[in-house]
Amino acid sequence: MANPVNLTFHGAAKTVTGSCMEFTFEDRRILVDCGLFQGSRSLETLNYGAFAFAPDTVDAVVLTHAHIDHCGLLPKLVAQGYEGPIFCTDQTADLLEYMLADAGRIQEFEAQRRNQRRDRAGEATFEPLYTEQDALTAWRQTRPVPLEEWFEPTAGFRSRLWNAGHILGATSAEVAAGDVRLLCSGDLGPQNKAFHADPEGPAGLDYVVCESTYGSRTRAQLTIAQRRDLLEEEINTAIGRGGNLVIPAFALERTQELLLDIAYLADQDRIPHVPVFVDSPLANRATSVFARHASELEDLGGKDIFHHPSIHYVDDASASMRINNMSGVIIIAASGMCEAGRIRHHLEHNLHRRDSTILFVGFQAQGSLGRILLEGAERVRISGTDLNVRAQIRRIDSYSAHADQSELLTWITERKPISGSLFLTHGEPGAAAALAELVTEHDPSLPVTIPAIGESYQLQSGTPAKLVGTARSDAAQLIGRDWQNDYADFAVGLKHQLARISDSGNRRKAIADMRKVLDEYAEPHHTRRNRVRA
């Protein structure tokens, strides 16, 4: 019997971001993806911790696509000693030049901003996770490979990339070592996805690792024409209210899909001919990559929709600020979950306006500002400033770049027979559990595993995966909302709650009581226990 393959999940396990899988076979090690954690502050702290492996012992990286939650820790990996190749499609390599460089600039900017905040005065200097130069060094290590052709990442491993139908250049990664053959889905696109063909992949595998982002949700199956009908209604309603329509959108793919539909609706005179500002330097650069690969994309109809007269690309920061003096315009800005980037200052200027509309068109991870707004927050905090939410908060699900529950089940079924196990990753616990239940209903004989961050499994051909390494001790605490989300909610509403107390003396007593409770919790556990006994 051949030596087993070991698989360790370092991210995107019971959570949606931080995708990173480590495969070891004999004395060789490869990674599939190396992504950034996004969401709650607790989850984001994982970005700053040490890797669970020595970067200089990794022989190769196979990258499924250019979204930051799959590639965003590559610059850190390289800065800490990884010198090997990063295998991906040529489209992904083209996008990474801009995606990684932008991520490096954001890390440097966020470090500078945090160090300048008054509420951090006297604290230790905050260092960027990595720099723009680190990011460009990582990009130079990319090695483009064609779809569906075997290549050897390192001795003992073979791999093939398959179209995943998710974003430009996105793939599923097939990995073979010894007598074990498996497929990592990456992120899978839905049916009727603009620009790309439906996902593909091989069948008859030992193991399959499948994403489960929308494992608990089944969307209405809309055509592109029906999706445009929904967008038309949202735009006309929003502009009709007199304010701005602000759309937080991922710079890569979601922005380009929106531009495709907005250009079409404008050409058909179905929406007002108002200015459309794409206020994201990264989105602008990503759009140039789409234009470069236009001949490989579906649904363009031979038109150069990326240079439509209604669309204005904003690079300069001062031009971005001037948009805040306007009304009745459409603003598309990153990031899609409202965690960074120029979208945050547009929210600062529009959330309090009753005539403005915030339209979400993508997934919002637990703990992210976007998720908090969608869940109906009346007040939020952005960069230390408390803001009332008076704008209309709207959502369109039909722009998702992820397959829904029924599409995921179809994709898994098409991979059969699966002789070992199915792993469900890249989903929140409820989503992964719902998909696991559905898969088991359809095939009770297929072992389904929902791994946690840090878990390791031994893989041998034709047998279920065997757990050989346990999860991080804090894995459960990292999932979903954390105390900092709760603190932000509490702090934002505190003044309003105190104002509801009519007597000023009682207000002061309430504050004193809160301080007393905090002091009690700050005591060492044994001291608090002894005092209670006394």
Would residue 295 count as lying in a domain? yes
Whether residue 391 is found in the same domain as residue 412: no
Would residue 141 count as lying in a domain? no
Strands 357-360 and 392-395: parallel
**What is d(CA 182, CA 185) in angstroms, rounded to the nearest whole number?**
10
Strands 466-469 and 86-88: unpaired
Q: Are 351 and 328 in contact (CB under 8 A)?
A: no
Whether residue 174 is found in the same domain as residue 34: yes
**What is d(CA 474, CA 300) in angstroms, rounded to the nearest whole number?**
47
Choosing from 399, 432, 467, the residue where a domain stops is: 399
Q: Which residues neighbour 314 within 8 Å (Cβ) at sequence distance 6 or greater? A: 277, 278, 279, 280, 284, 320, 323
Would residue 124 count as lying in a domain? no
Whether residue 299 is found in the same domain as residue 265: yes
Number of domains in the chain: 3
CA dihedral (90, 91, 94, 96) positive or negative? negative
Can you give the pLDDT at residue 296? 87
Would residue 415 count as lying in a domain? yes
**What is d(CA 426, CA 18) in angstroms, rounded to the nearest whole number?**
9
**What is d(CA 396, CA 130) in angstroms, rounded to the nearest whole number?**
34
Q: Residues 521, 527, 532, 534: what is their CA dihedral angle, to the nearest 10 degrees?
A: -160
Whether residue 422 is found in the same domain as residue 382: no
Whether residue 345 is found in the same domain as residue 470: no
Using left for φ > 0, alpha for ψ between -120 and 50, and beta otherwise, residue 170 falls in: beta
342 C-beta neighbours (distance < 10 Å), count: 21
Choosing from 399, 432, 452, the residue where a domain stops is: 399
Exposed/middle/buried for residue 73 (C-beta within 10 Å: 0-12, 13-18, 19+) = buried
Would residue 383 count as lying in a domain? yes
Whether residue 234 is found in the same domain as residue 328: yes
Whether residue 390 is found in the same domain as residue 525: no
Would residue 249 count as lying in a domain? yes
Can you give the pLDDT at residue 323? 96
Whether residue 239 is found in the same domain as residue 338: yes
Would residue 107 count as lying in a domain? no
Q: How far is CA 70 from the centre of its chain?
A: 8
Whether residue 317 is found in the same domain as residue 195: no
CATH number where 263 lies: 3.40.50.10890
Whether residue 323 is found in the same domain as residue 244: yes
Q: Are 397 and 177 in contact (CB under 8 A)?
A: no
Beta-bridge partners for 353: none
Q: What is the DSSP letter of 397?
A: G
Can you give the pLDDT at residue 499? 80
Would residue 250 count as lying in a domain? yes
CATH number where 179 lies: 3.60.15.10
Whether residue 341 is found in the same domain as residue 367: yes
Choosing from 343, 368, 399, the residue where a domain stops is: 399
pLDDT mean for each 10 residues of the chain (534 residues): 92 95 97 92 88 97 97 98 98 97 90 74 83 97 98 98 96 98 97 88 98 93 90 98 95 92 95 96 91 86 82 93 95 90 93 97 85 94 90 91 95 98 96 98 97 97 96 75 65 75 85 84 59 45
Task: Give residue 419's domain range.
Answer: 5-48+56-63+147-218+401-478
Nearest to 7 by CA among 303, 421, 351, 402: 421
- DSSP codes joined into one string, 282-317: HHHHHHHHHHHTGGG-SS-TT--GGG-TTEEE--SH
Whether residue 367 is found in the same domain as residue 453: no
